[in-house]
Amino acid sequence: MLKSVFASPTDDASHSSRLLMNSDDFHGNQPVVRTDRLGKRVSVGSGAIQILEDIDLTVQDNTAVSISGRSGSGKTTLLGLLAGLDTPTEGAVALFGRSLVNLDEDARAALRRGRVGFVFQSFHLLPNLTALENVALALEVGQPGEDIDARAAEALQRVGLAPRMHHLPSQLSGGEQQRVALARAIVVRPTVLFADEPTGNLDHATREEVASLLFELRAEHGCTLVLVTHDLDLAGRCDRHYHLEAGRLVS
Amino acid sequence: MIAAWRSLRREARLTEFRLFLAALCFIAVALSAVSLFGSRVERAMQAQTGALLGADGLLASSRPIDDEFARLAESLGLRTARTVDFLSMAVGPEDSRLARVRAVSGAYPLRGEVLTRDPGASDEGVGGEAIAAGTAWVAPSLAREQSLSAGATLSLGRKSFEVTREISLEPEGGVGSFSIAPRVMIPLADVDATGLLTPASRARFRLLVAGEADAVSAFGDAVEERLSPHEQWHVADLERDEVRATVGRVVSYLNLAVMLSVLLAVVAMAVAAQGLWRRQAHAGALMRCLGARHGAMVRRQTMVYLLAAVPVAASGSVLGGVFQHVASIGVARAAGIELPPPSLGPALTTTAISVLVTLAVMVPFLFAQRFVPVMTLLRAELRDRVHAGAIGVAVVAFLVAGFAVLLAGDLVLALSVLAGLAAAGVVFWFLIRALLAVLATTARAPSASWHIALRNLASNARRSAWLASAFGAAVFALVLLGAVRGDLFAAWNQSIPENAPNIFLVNIQGEEVDAMRGLLEQRHVPSERFYPIYRGRLVSIDGEAVAEADFESESARHRVNHEFNLTEDGVLPDGNEIVAGRWFDAGERGFSVERETADSLGLAIGSRIAFDVAGTRVEAPVTSIRTVRWDSMKPNFFVLGSPGLFGEAPRQFITAAFAGEDAGDLSRAVNRQFPSVTLIDLGSILDRLRNLVEQASAAVSVVFAFTLAAALLVLVAMLQGQREARRREIALLKTLGASRAQIRAAIVAEFGLLGAVAGAVGGALALASGWLLAWQVFEFDYLPAWHWIAISLAGGALLVGAGGYLSIRSLVKVQPVRLLAG
Ligand SMILES: Nc1ncnc2c1ncn2[C@@H]1O[C@H](COP(=O)(O)OP(=O)(O)O)[C@@H](O)[C@H]1O
Ligand SMILES: [Mg+2]
């Protein structure tokens, strides 16, 4: 049925020339993420369920895009596909102008390295690493160099956690942990920031604090933001909105 | 490298990692303690058998032995001694007598000792003395016959010696030497002065060596290459018939202990590794999300584990060495036997094995991480699909099989244990899951707590089965070792009944038999039959002359080279069992050959063999092949002839008797009445051996208990690893309205049930495995000790119940809201 335009670069010249380019050539006026009739289907027991279907979206550089929808509508699944953490079953997705469809996991990781930041609902700090080390980890993996600790400390300072630098995650509150995660996400000065319900595990007061910080940091670094949330308040602060309903986009 | 160090420092903050290293340390400690100790006991045994030869190895020749050999031995770090044996007339104050003279160098004997006493005394004698220049030690029979007292003069050739001591025990005084002439021992330096040794005289020159087993065998190899026809190389191996049966069993038992300790430790480590795997999977997913490449991560982490494992394993090995040293001091004191010093080899091996185990447990997992989707970061429920447990089971099975075979050396032993283990694995997994499912659906829970416990067991079937299997493995190992140990000693004690013969009387002349029998009866000393002994050299098989060079094996060469002690008998001796052919019919001419002798010489039923017995050729077919219970302490024979087979050939008689504590008395009486009869006291040798066996095995059990402690510790670690899941369960129960007391009772019930099932199944399988071992390896009658099942069931319930309760106790007090928050 659906034939991917990315299946082979020579298949469809018009699409290819528009969407496929060397990611190193990527620059500001190209879309950061672009999908073409993206779909995801998983088999459950004997049957299969279509989680996402016919998703066409474009995220331009230096914009904030929200993806909202009810619980179970497929937001997390979509984010995973956009960031190359997961592979689609139909259609195509390109990150930094590079199709993810035929890349293996290592190649997709290489594409993310040093250019993508993540913020998760459940923080995902490594429990045996201090705040500073957790932030530094992103640099060790993404942008190895001399001044890792200094840059990590600076990022922590920016999120207001300089005094807690040497604390383990278990010694920090939920809001503080998420601020460490934010520092980890921006320390590499990413081109794009993916966030999945970044305030979902926080209480009301901290939620606002973390949300404001997220948008401030995005503005400061001028990076693209793909924000998944069912919180309409948060979605409202973005430039562009997509709404998912039962796996389909409704604008 | 620096990055790996940094990662290691960070990793070390994980409780899971520390537990893993603790398990690794325990592996190293247990392995090194058991294997060092085992190898030392084995060497002590070897030295004991060496004591029967006076050395670990000896080079014998009919001509003086070139100094070059001694230099070679010394360059290999071996101690050396020389002896020269020859026959000579010894001229005493009353008479002259043909004596077997042994001239010895100062270091003789290298193993065992020559026990001496004042001439005419009857004590056991003391050892450790060196023979002084110009003095001679004599056999008790000679001392009595010639009325030699201390200070008497005995002349050999042109030199007179002062008799100072009487020899009560000397190496090579075993059953094998049926000698005619009494012993006279003189210093080697005095040989020349006697003028008895000329190039033409018949003498036996020997170079004795002793030291590290490796050096001895290296020396043996070097010597065998340049052996001239008049030279022979002998080693003291565990082939001595009287002790082989015992020592063989002990060595097998030690092997078993080592194997089971490794098994347990590996299981323990895999358990500890599970928690680490979970952390690792999470960290790995995060790193890949940040852009790390899988291969680089595998390399980095492997480096981290290596950096951690090497020092931990090395220090564990050293610790184990210290531990076994303490144990060995106890053994040495209790058994009165000096264990040889520990060697570095086993410690290095232990370290290497421990590090390998670490890598084998972790590295496959690092590769398997590729299959942990990065999406687990976004979707928590995917995490539960990472069946680390399945990988674990496969890894453990593979490891255990590999190491067991590697370590056991003894394939049958390894396979028996592995068979038990494989059965245990399958049975545990399925039986326990089935049992739990049945319990959950059919059992009518007497209370809410029981209901919760049953439901929890059933709904976490995989977790429960894994826990039960780990604990069951510990029970299996302990019961197997415990049961086998008990049976080993029961069998040993049975095979040497209280009134087993403890002395041998040899060189009894035909006309002395009746008088000797009379003496024994008069003193109420029960004795065996009097067997006639013919000395014969095997000269042909199926009509073809035999030569030493025709045989590959050491034992066959030895047999061809030496005279057999042959006997003839119309009745199959006790403890002998025909395994092929049949016993002699009346009037039939034939030989009955012991099985291993037949195997090594390539004899079968119907082979015609011929012996040269004092110049007469005696030829007959092999009509039966026997097994012999060597540890029966009765006269046993490799080759038995049918009655009358040897005709009028010269013969002497031999018998064994049980003289109990009166061996000394009897010895004096025999000496007085039958000066030429030699009395060999086996009791002291066997007592020492038996003592060593018991102490060694007791110490090994201590070491094993130590391993079990390690397993228990890791069991607790495993329970600790479940805390997260338990935390959620308890919170849920609380919100559903369960009281603390109910939850506590439910936990104890759940773990107790699990422990009971694991203990019972582990115990039962251990008994089955033990039966297999008893039958195949230890060769004794096995009495399954059913009470072990009850003990392990109760023990399992108690231990796991208590452990489970202790590990989760603190969670019960926490408010449900706090529980949910984390
Ligand atoms: N691997 C999977 N297997 C089965 N069902 C899945 C899988 N991934 C997602 N789903 C289902 O797809 C739907 C969308 O999930 P998700 O993307 O997490 O939604 P959201 O983030 O909007 O709550 C849910 O019903 C979820 O259960
Ligand atoms: Mg979601």
**B201-252 residue pLDDT tens:** 778 888 999 888 788 888 888 887 887 767 777 665 544 444 555 666 666 6
Mutate to test the pocket of ligand 1, among A40, A51, A121, A243 (most ligand atoms within 8 A of CB): A51
Scanning A106-135 for CB atoms below 8 A from B yields: 106, 109-116, 118, 120, 122, 124, 126-129, 133
* Sequence-ordered alpha helix ranges (H) in B54-86: 67-75
Nearest-neighbour CA in chain A from B802: distance (Å): 29
**A14-24 residue pLDDT tens:** 343 344 444 45
**B556-610 residue pLDDT tens:** 776 777 778 889 888 888 878 898 899 998 888 999 999 888 888 889 999 999 9
Run of H or E residues at B253: helix B241-289
In this complex, do B10 and A133 lie within 8 Å of one another by their Cβ atoms? yes
Let me know: does B551 contact B601? Beta carbons within 8 Å.
Answer: yes
pLDDT category at B497 given cuts 50, 70, 90 is low
Q: What is the DSSP string of B379-419?
A: -GGGGGG--HHHHHHHHHHHHHHHHHHHHH--HHHHHHHHH
Average pLDDT for chain A: 86
Which residue among A106, A128, A196 sits closest to B11, beta carbon to beta carbon? A128
pLDDT at B122 over 50: yes
**A20-65 residue pLDDT tens:** 444 455 555 678 999 999 999 998 878 899 999 999 999 999 999 9
d(CA B73, CA B233): 13
Ligand 1 in reach of A74 Cβ (< 6 A): yes
d(CA B668, CA B122): 7
Give the pair of three-digit tokens for residue B787. Answer: 């009470």
In this complex, do A109 and B288 lie within 8 Å of one another by their Cβ atoms? yes
pLDDT at B759 over 80: yes
Let me know: does B449 contact B745? Beta carbons within 8 Å.
Answer: yes
In this complex, do A86 and B14 lie within 8 Å of one another by their Cβ atoms? no
Percent residues over pLDDT 90 in chain B: 12
Q: Which residue has the higher pLDDT, A1 or B463?
A: B463
Mutate to test the pocket of ligand 1, among B375, B377, B379, B383 (most ligand atoms within 8 A of CB): B379
pLDDT at B618 over 80: yes
Ligand 1 in reach of A51 Cβ (< 6 A): yes
Ligand 1 in reach of A55 Cβ (< 6 A): no
If phi > 0 it is left, if psi is from -120 to 50 it is alpha, else beta; for residue B768 that is alpha
**B634-657 residue pLDDT tens:** 778 889 999 989 888 888 888 888
Q: Which atom of ligand 1 is nearest to A79's Cα?
A: 17
pLDDT at B696 over 50: yes
Which residue among B14, B293, B378 sits closest to A80, beta carbon to beta carbon? B378
Give the pair of three-digit tokens for residue B656. Answer: 């064994």
Q: Which residue has the higher pLDDT, B779 or B551?
A: B551
In this complex, do A118 and B377 lie within 8 Å of one another by their Cβ atoms? yes
d(CA A159, CA A180): 7
Nearest-neighbour CA in chain B from A113: distance (Å): 4
Handedness of CA A156, A159, A163, A168 (dihedral sign): negative
Nearest ligand, CA of residue A86?
1
Give the burial class of B121: count Cβ atoms within 10 A of its Cβ; 0-12 exposed, 13-18 middle, 19 or more buried: middle
Nearest-neighbour CA in chain A from B464: distance (Å): 25
The residue whose two tokens read 């360059």 is B75
pLDDT at B822 over 50: no
Residues of B in contact with A168 (CB under 8 A): 13
* pLDDT at residue number B573: 85
Give the pair of three-digit tokens for residue B719. Answer: 């329970």
* pLDDT at residue number B174: 39
State whether residue B379 sits within 8 Å of chain A by CB: yes
d(CA B573, CA B640): 10
**B10-31 residue pLDDT tens:** 999 888 888 888 888 888 887 7
Q: What is the DSSP string of A7-31?
A: SSTTT-HHHHHHH---GGG--TTSE
pLDDT at B459 over 50: yes
* pLDDT at residue number B311: 94
> B70 Cβ partners below 8 Å, 6+ apart?
B80, B82, B207
pLDDT category at B711 given cuts 50, 70, 90 is low
Nearest CA in chain A to B280: A126
Q: Which residue has the higher pLDDT, A212 or B451?
A: A212
Mean pLDDT of A239-245: 93
d(CA B389, CA B73): 55
Which residue among B283, B291, B379 sits closest to A142, beta carbon to beta carbon? B291
d(CA B734, CA B736): 5
State whether residue A232 sits within 8 Å of chain B by CB: no
Ligand 1 mean position, distance from CA B308 (Å): 40
* pLDDT at residue number B239: 42
Atom 16 of ligand 1, residue of closest alpha carbon: A74
Ligand 1 in reach of A68 Cβ (< 6 A): no
**B360-412 residue pLDDT tens:** 778 877 887 777 788 888 887 666 555 555 555 556 656 665 665 565 556 66
Ligand 1 mean position, distance from CA A95 (Å): 22
d(CA B370, CA A214): 32
Q: Which residue has the higher pLDDT, B180 or A125?
A: A125
Domain ranges for chain B, please list them. Answer: 1-53+244-409, 55-235, 424-498+683-822, 528-657
Of A67-71, B334-338, B432-436, B487-491, which one has max mean pLDDT?
A67-71
In this complex, do B290 and A106 lie within 8 Å of one another by their Cβ atoms? no
For testing contact with chain A, the best of B13, B17, B378 (most A CBs within 10 A): B378
Nearest ligand, CA of residue B384?
1
pLDDT category at A151 given cuts 50, 70, 90 is very high
Q: Which residue has the higher pLDDT, B310 or B614?
A: B310
Q: Which atom of ligand 1 is nearest to A80's Cα?
A: 17
Average pLDDT for chain B: 78
Ligand 2 mean position, distance from CA A172 (Å): 24
pLDDT at B55 over 70: yes
Handedness of CA A24, A25, A27, A31 (dihedral sign): negative
Let me know: does A30 contact A40? Beta carbons within 8 Å.
Answer: no
Ligand 1 in reach of A71 Cβ (< 6 A): yes
Residues of B in contact with A76 (CB under 8 A): 378-379
pLDDT category at B61 given cuts 50, 70, 90 is confident
**B257-293 residue pLDDT tens:** 767 777 777 777 777 777 788 888 889 999 999 999 9
| Cα angle, residue B48 at apex, residues B44 and B54 outer, rounded to 5° | 125
Ligand 1 in reach of A43 Cβ (< 6 A): no
Nearest ligand, CA of residue A120?
2
**B298-323 residue pLDDT tens:** 998 999 999 999 999 999 988 888 87
Let me know: does B420 contact B766? Beta carbons within 8 Å.
Answer: yes
d(CA A61, CA A224): 6
Ligand 1 in reach of A75 Cβ (< 6 A): yes
Nearest CA in chain A to B8: A128
ipTM: 0.89
Nearest-neighbour CA in chain A from B311: distance (Å): 22
Residues of A in contact with B290 (CB under 8 A): 112-113, 118, 137-138, 141-142
Mean pLDDT of B345-364: 82
State whether residue A103 sits within 8 Å of chain B by CB: no
pLDDT at B421 over 50: yes
**A91-104 residue pLDDT tens:** 999 999 899 988 99
| Cα angle, residue B435 at apex, residues B429 and B441 outer, rounded to 5° | 135
d(CA B770, CA B391): 29
| Among the ranges given (A220-224, B187-191, B523-527, B681-685), the one the predictor scored with the smallest mean pLDDT | B681-685
Ligand 2 mean position, distance from CA B370 (Å): 23
